[in-house]
Amino acid sequence: MIQDNLMKALNDQINYEFYSSYSYLAMAAYAQSEDLDGFANFFRIQAQEELFHAMKFYDYVYQKNGDVTLQSIDKPQLKFENMVDVFEKGYEHEQEVTRRIYNLADIAAEEKEHSTISLLKWFIDEQVEEEDNFNKIIKKLRRAQSNPAALYMLDEELAQRVYVAPAADTSAQ
């Protein structure tokens, strides 16, 4: 049985994952408006991944006989300076998500709620990848900044990204 404060924190995280999805969709729209279809593709898939995260928490709450209380989703940032700015904001966002997941893990540990600790282990590992993805692209973008050809090459590269739902995962569906 999950205590109220942990249940509330899990519900808040569902909201934050939806907000993450919305934020990345806003970044996709910005990239689209700049005619960078590959970057737009990258962020549309990123938005899909965040929906998957939200639903993973959502399903878990019901598996643990809790209730999901959906809240309003904050308006995401819509305007950006350039693609470096977009990825820097994305990187900061992922670092904030990591802090929130750690905070959840701290609460779950205090409550000795071992199945939630196990669920959060998946998210902790996922966040390593998320931060690394953004950081790597920032580095490439900074190098490409003064070179439009390099920017379009990166756009082509990001056009190849496809959404893959985590295969080995059975807890989310």
> Contact residues for Fe ion (CB under 5 A)?
17, 50, 53, 130
The helix or strand, by DSSP H or E, that contains position 5, with its residue range, turns out to be: helix 4-33
Is the Cβ of residue 80 or residue 134 nearer to Fe ion in the bound state? 134
- d(Cα 82, Cα 85) in Å, to the nearest integer? 5
Is the Cβ of residue 102 or residue 153 nearer to Fe ion in the bound state? 102
Binding residues, as ranges, are 17, 50, 53, 94, 127
**What is the number of the residue whose Cβ is closest to Fe ion?**
53
Task: Report DSSP state, residue 76.
Answer: P
Is the Cβ of residue 60 or residue 151 nearer to Fe ion in the bound state? 60
Tokens of 105: 């893990």
**Minimum distance between the CB of residue 154 and Fe ion, rounded to whole angstroms?**
20
Residues 47, 24: contact at Cβ < 8 Å?
yes
Binding residues for Fe cation, as ranges, are 17, 50, 53, 94, 127
- d(Cα 134, Cα 117) in Å, to the nearest integer? 26
